[in-house]
Chain A
């Protein structure tokens, strides 16, 4: 390798070290800029993916209808296809109505958002949503559905944000268990631990907690001095699957309320009503 090449390599490595010394805020700002650049591609990709998904779903139910057709031998093919289209519309209508109802009765000011992509990394559980600081989203705001908590925003770009899911090991939520005085910290499990990716761990419970499967877990809503924590109190997190007493504390395995691998429509809590 020539001397010039050695100098170039050293220069690049020094440059990389300088970049790595940037503060978290600067890095987030750079990431927000990058998100803004890829945002149109992600949104287009998301729309295409939805269309393909809907088409696949339609074909799946069409198969079911064909089976019905074999049994009943009554309706013709054209009529069944039309029925299917109406059924899809009805299901979508019902889903949207349910979301709208939740938004109306919620005590929080909710901003509807849509998941446009999921993190391609093997080690983190994050999703990207189609709302950013132009819509009033800020970092560390809770994200939920009508079923329960999804996660919190981290990096916020102009029209897009990254949401750290509660199934990620680094997302920690102060929690309480229904029907008991037990309080603990809920977080995602480490890679490869547990049977399902939707399983989380609730740590720092008392050894004698003896929680039963099916007990519900909610956010605790911790306050730090005059300010409240990220998550308001009383948001449903999931249900206890099992409990084990460890030498120093108790640990419960909690099944997430929301199916985080398929969640599409979410709300960002942008404030109180």
Chain B
């Protein structure tokens, strides 16, 4: 029960985040960087949930992200649907390796993971677009647009943990979502 509540809450949070992100303008002072929080939310799920639930979340988050950002020009898709699923699966595998540390109470693992995964996601997205267009290039703006969302995700990551910690006592059922179990002890 608790795992189901956790999974669906996270799924809802990812959906709501995708919608809210549409209304957050580019941050001009950060070279037009955008707020991108889906990898951060996914990483929390990956650290907290069992393996199979993480995989389901990777499919859900990846598909939604791709659908939100799909760019079709003259009948050509720049980044195909499904690539985010693969990427989220890899993030999830990495997160699962760090899960023991997270369960032991090292909440900052999520902060680091959120920053790294957000930056890697944007960097790979950029590289794929470059290959589709005129070859890879790099400048200060590109660096800002990759690193700043990672930094923002890292700043907001503890809020997610705090929300889960505060919400946990109100959710009844067997303790299957690991951080919840830790909080009860």
Which of A's residues lie within 8 Å of B, judged by CB?
A: 1, 5, 8-9, 12-13, 15-22, 24-25, 27-28, 30-31, 34, 38, 41-42, 45-46, 49, 117-124, 126, 128, 154-155, 164, 169-171, 190-193, 197, 261
- Interfacial chain B residues near A21, Cβ < 8 Å: 80
B52 & A12 in contact (Cβ 8 Å cutoff)? no
In residues 126-150 of chain B, which contact A (Cβ within 8 Å)? 126, 129, 133-134, 137, 139-142, 145-146, 149
Is B168 positioned at the interface, with any CB of A under 8 Å from its CB?
no
A122-B122 contact given A8-B55, A16-B62, CB 8 Å threshold:
yes
- From residue A166, how far is it (CB to closest CB) to chain B in Å? 12
The residue from B20, B22, B76, B83 contacting A118, defined by CB atoms under 8 A apart: B22
Q: Do A27 and B77 contact each other (CB < 8 Å), given the known contacts A124-B71, A192-B139?
A: yes
A191 to B136, CA, bound (A): 11
Interface pair B70/A120, CB less than 8 Å apart: no
Given contacts A5-B51, A8-B55, A12-B85, is CB(A42)–CB(B71) below 8 Å? Answer: no
In the bound complex, do residue A38 and residue B19 qualify as a contact, i.e. CB atoms below 8 Å apart? Answer: yes
- Complex Cα distance, B129 from A189, in Å, reads 14
**B143 (CB) vs chain A CBs: closest residue:** A192
Are A122 and B19 also in contact (CB < 8 A) when A27-B70, A30-B81 are?
Answer: no
The size of the chain B interface, using a CB distance under 8 A, is: 56
**Cross-interface CB contact of A41 among B19, B24, B52, B75, cutoff 8 Å:** B19
The 25 listed contacts between A and B (C-beta, < 8 Å) are A9-B55, A13-B85, A15-B82, A17-B82, A19-B63, A19-B80, A20-B83, A22-B80, A24-B75, A31-B72, A34-B68, A38-B18, A45-B22, A49-B23, A119-B69, A121-B71, A122-B126, A122-B146, A123-B129, A123-B145, A128-B22, A154-B73, A155-B72, A191-B139, A193-B139
Least CB distance from B129 to A in Å reads 5
When A5-B51, A122-B34, A122-B149 are in contact, do A154 and B71 touch as well, CB less than 8 Å?
yes
The count of A-to-B residue pairs whose CB atoms sit within 8 angstroms is 144
B36 interface hit (Cβ, 8 Å): yes
The answer to whether A191 and B55 touch across the interface, beta carbons within 8 angstroms, is no
A8-B52, A28-B72, A38-B19 given as contacts; is B59 within 8 A of A120 (CB)? no
Residues of B within 8 A of A31 (CB): 67, 70, 72
**B35 contacts chain A at the CB level, 8 A cutoff:** yes
- Is residue B105 contacting chain A, with contact meaning CB distance below 8 A? no
CA A31 – CA B71 in complex, angstroms?
10
B33 at the interface (CB under 8 A from A): yes
Contact A121 to B141, CB < 8 A, known contacts A27-B70, A30-B81, A38-B18: no
* Min CB gap A125→B, angstroms: 10
Does B98 lie at the interface of the complex (its beta carbon under 8 Å from any beta carbon of A)?
no
